[in-house]
Amino acid sequence: MISIMRPNKIRSLSVMCKRNIVFFQQQCDDIVQQPDIQLAVIRMPPFPRQPILIVQIVIAALMLTITSPTGSGEAPDSYRPGDGDRFWRISTRRLPKNPCQSQLDSPALDVRSVTACGQSTPSTWEDYIQTVGDGTRDAVIYVHGNRMDRENAIKYGLMIYRKSACRRKGRPIDWIIWSWPSEKNGILIHDARRKANRCDTQALYLSWVLRRHVEQNVPTALIGFSYGGRIITGALHALAGGKLGGRSLPEPPITGMPFDAALLAAAVDSNCMSRCGIHNRATKNLDRLVLLYNRKDVVLKRYWRLERIRGNTALGFSGSRSFAPRADGTALSVRSRDCSSGVGIQHNEMDYYEHPCFAGSEIANLIDDLQINH
């Protein structure tokens, strides 16, 4: 017996198909415009007499034609994440959280190799630095924000990776997820102050890793959200000889290194990289900076409450117009964008990857330019 679909059933199925296509297309939603989905709608007779013919009509009615903006049915190359990308997770969750107790000669970092699906395998620092330093790939270090537990660090890091991977055009990379002790702990303001103090220690650990990258001649880009941005600017500052929490690296300072960085909603002083800022040496090891901020962020709007200094604003809230010069005395190249029109009031990292901020495209361009310039 052959089941016959009425026109209203065909319309409901067409809506389901269209929703599924939109869902998958959202994975890379700012690469191309919304595809033109055309559905062939054929009116059926009120009382069909030939069941086999009716089945053929139903099948034809559900056929979808997706037309790309270029007129080709093929997806652009940027839809495919780079084959050969490698993934790592470096964790400092078991290390001392106080700068005075931090191990800066050779910190016992917990290193794991990770698959694109999130499965991790124990590794060693020696294996990591030897692999990353083999000269076949550039490195990208992603530093997450506050209130991220151990289990979600890898998952979230890979989500951010995918947001930029489908837009890249360069060669494969090493994607490193920096996992630091940021689990939710108590009331938001007290938790925020506690984690702000931990950022100095994390910056010291990260600067130690960056020094090893310099020694192995590994071109490196850094991506940070919220406190992740604070850790990155602090690490670049410490690498150039700056002090954090009264501590500095035991080795001679390094300056003039062309690191690139992207900071999203950075929870650090807006003038931190100015001549008199708390991380004023950071620009000595920066080549380019992408700064995405949000003047409507309700969390960063209250940033002054961290140290109870009214008028103190966050870099991720107001942006910055003052930067110390680079090591050669030239001005730092900064691409700055206010994303408040699209992100709104939320302090949500994923919102920065939606229209109209397009953080995924910004980061992809940063990585591609890193490979071109090095």
Indicate the residue among 77, 102, 135 that finishes a domain.
Answer: 77
Together in a domain, 279 and 329: yes
Task: Establish if 28 belongs to a structural domain.
Answer: yes
pLDDT in tens, 49-86: 444 444 343 333 433 222 233 333 333 344 355 679 99
pLDDT in tens, 210-262: 999 999 999 999 999 999 999 999 999 999 999 999 999 999 999 999 999 99
Beta carbons within 8 Å of 134's beta carbon, 6+ residues apart = none
Beta carbons within 8 Å of 58's beta carbon, 6+ residues apart = 5, 10
Together in a domain, 126 and 143: yes
Q: What is the 3-state secondary structure (H, E, C) of 344-370?
A: CCCCCHHHHHCCCCCHHHHHHHHHHHH
Task: Establish if 1 belongs to a structural domain.
Answer: no
Together in a domain, 257 and 199: yes
Together in a domain, 105 and 126: yes
Domain count, the chain: 2
Together in a domain, 163 and 67: no
Check residue 8 and give its pLDDT: 52
Which H or E element spans position 327? none
Indicate the residue among 77, 100, 125 that finishes a domain.
Answer: 77
Task: Establish if 95 belongs to a structural domain.
Answer: yes
pTM of the model: 0.79
Check residue 23 and give its pLDDT: 38
Together in a domain, 157 and 209: yes
Tell me the two tokens of residue 163: 């947001």
Residue with tokens 């966050």: 314
Together in a domain, 164 and 265: yes
Task: Establish if 300 belongs to a structural domain.
Answer: yes
Together in a domain, 155 and 225: yes
Together in a domain, 329 and 263: yes
The residue segments making up the domain with residue 72 are: 7-77
Together in a domain, 158 and 23: no
Check residue 25 and give its pLDDT: 44
Q: What stretches in the chain show pLDDT beneath 70?
A: 1-82, 372, 374
Amino acid code (one letter) for 288: R
